[in-house]
Amino acid sequence: MAQIITGETQLLGVIGDPVRHSFSPIMHNAALAELEADYIYVALPIKPEALAAAIDGFRAIDLRGFNITIPHKQAIMPLLATITPEAEAIGAVNTVWPTDVGWAGTNTDVTGFLSPLKELVPQGRQQVIVLGNGGAARAVVAGCTQWEVPEIHVVGRNADKLSRFAASWQDSPLQPPLLVHSWEALPELLPGADLVVNTTPVGMKPVGESPLSREQIELLPEGAIAYDLIYNPSPTKFLEMAAARGLTALDGLEMLIRQGAAALEIWLQRPVPINTMRQALKAHLGR
């Protein structure tokens, strides 16, 4: 049933630049309709220079909460009154809600990343390779640390960015068991890894390419999991080759759903219908 907007309807949203492509309104509005919760969730394009003014304006119009996507996940932090230790450790916020003392922020990407993995392999993983060292890699490293993975290897293409990535955790309460490597180290690392996570956009941009070659995927041991944070297209070339090799392949759709569900639970303070969110997204993506 279509949702009826009344004078009582409250506002939620996602801010970013760009943000019109976001799938979040699809899944959140499906869940809100199912719950008969009188809210509407919209995409709000905000330029970086307008971020502070927008946040003040959100307070003035009593916005009930919002998600944050690129490029505001770090820039929002000084504008918040409180930040959860989890978001502080990652250095990025993706979910904000109002409190008596101002905006509060957290990061639900860790929950989003971990939930499907824990369901797949409750016993955990011993050695993880993270491809890429950007924003999503931070949530993956935090998630793997929380999951008590004893060895996390982050592989990147830019030595400066890699060493800054490693240094950024030095004062963190998380203290991840982290080593960073150049791409050339992969042939040595792959035979020991029981989870490889692609956090680069390769497979989406450019479509049809894979961060690992077929030969590199062959080096992974039996029982390894290939996890691609990309959710569109699915499967990516990386997951297609991993599945053909007999490995378990996991795409990023469930992460997207679970981080969204965790945010909606914060805003509504009640359990949310994850299955409805999943079905709405899959229908939208034609899957």
Question: With binding defined as CB under 6 A, does residue 186 bind ligand NAP?
Answer: no
Rounded distance between C-alpha atoms, residue 219 and residue 46, angstroms: 44
Q: Looking at 47, 73, 161, 282, which residue is catalytic? A: 73
Surface-to-core class of residue 248, CB atoms within 10 Å of its CB (0-12 exposed, 13-18 middle, 19+ buried): middle
Give the residue with the Cβ less far from ligand NAP, 22 or 133: 133
Supply the DSSP string of the chain, one letter for each residue.
-PPPP-TT-EEEEEEESS-TT-SHHHHHHHHHHHHT-SEEEEEEE--GGGHHHHHHHHHHTT--EEEE-TT-TTTTGGG-SEE-HHHHHHT---EEEEETTEEEEE--HHHHHHHHHHHH-TT--SEEEEE--SHHHHHHHHHHHHTT-SEEEEEES-HHHHHHHHHTTTT-TT---EEEEEGGGHHHHGGG-SEEEE-SSTBBTTBT--SS-HHHHHTSPTT-EEEE---SSSS-HHHHHHHHTT-EEE-SHHHHHHHHHHHHHHHHSS---HHHHHHHHHHHHT-
Residues 65-104 that bind ligand NAP (CB under 6 A): 70
Which stretch in 48-56, 142-150, 187-195, 249-257 sits in contact with ligand NAP by CB under 6 A?
Answer: 249-257
Give the residue with the Cβ less far from ligand NAP, 15 or 136: 136
Question: With binding defined as CB under 6 A, does residue 23 bind ligand NAP?
Answer: no
Which stretch in 19-27, 40-48, 128-136, 219-227 sits in contact with ligand NAP by CB under 6 A?
Answer: 128-136
248-250 and 65-68: which strand pairing?
A: unpaired
Give the residue with the Cβ less far from ligand NAP, 136 or 274: 136
Active site residue 73: yes
Give the one residue of 25, 132, 143, 235 binding ligand NAP; rule: CB under 6 A: 132
Give the one residue of 71, 91, 201, 233 binding ligand NAP; rule: CB under 6 A: 201
Give the one residue of 41, 169, 227, 231 binding ligand NAP; rule: CB under 6 A: 231
Binding mask 258-277 toward ligand NAP (x if CB under 6 A, else -) reads -x------------------
Question: With binding defined as CB under 6 A, does residue 284 bind ligand NAP?
Answer: no
Question: With binding defined as CB under 6 A, does residue 213 bind ligand NAP?
Answer: no
Q: Shortest Cβ distance from residue 265 to ligand NAP (Å)?
A: 16
Give the one residue of 22, 145, 200, 236 binding ligand NAP; rule: CB under 6 A: 200
Give the one residue of 9, 158, 175, 275 binding ligand NAP; rule: CB under 6 A: 158
Catalytic residues: 73
Residues that bind ligand NAP (CB under 6 A): 70, 109, 112, 132-137, 156-158, 161, 199-202, 204, 229-231, 252, 255-256, 259
